[in-house]
Amino acid sequence: MAIFGLDLKSVERYLNSYGRYIIRQAEGILYKRKNTGNLSKSLDFTILKTKTGYDIRWTAASYGEFVDKGVSGVISKRYYYALDGKRKRSPYRYTTKGPPQYVLREWIRMKGIKGRERKGASGGKGGQFMSRKSLAFLMSRSIKNKGLRAMSFYSKPISFSFNIFKKKLEGNFAKDIEVQLSQKI
Rounded Cα–Cα distance for residues 158 and 153 (Å): 9
pLDDT at 121 > cutoff 80: no
Rounded Cα–Cα distance for residues 102 and 35 (Å): 20
Closest CA to 23 of 161, 148, 163, 150: 161
Q: Report, as an integer, the average pLDDT of 57-70.
A: 90
Rounded Cα–Cα distance for residues 140 and 102 (Å): 10
Closest CA to 66 of 45, 48, 95, 39: 39
Q: Report, as an integer, the average pLDDT of 145-172.
A: 88
Domain spans of the chain, in order of start: 1-70+151-185
Rounded Cα–Cα distance for residues 148 and 165 (Å): 31
Q: Report, as an integer, the average pLDDT of 148-160.
A: 88
pLDDT at 122 > cutoff 70: no
The contacts of residue 43 (CB under 8 Å, 6+ apart) are 23, 26, 27, 58, 59, 60, 64, 153
Per-residue model confidence as pLDDT tens digits over 26-54: 999 888 887 767 888 999 999 998 888 88
Single pTM value for the model: 0.79
Tell me what pLDDT residue 51 has.
82
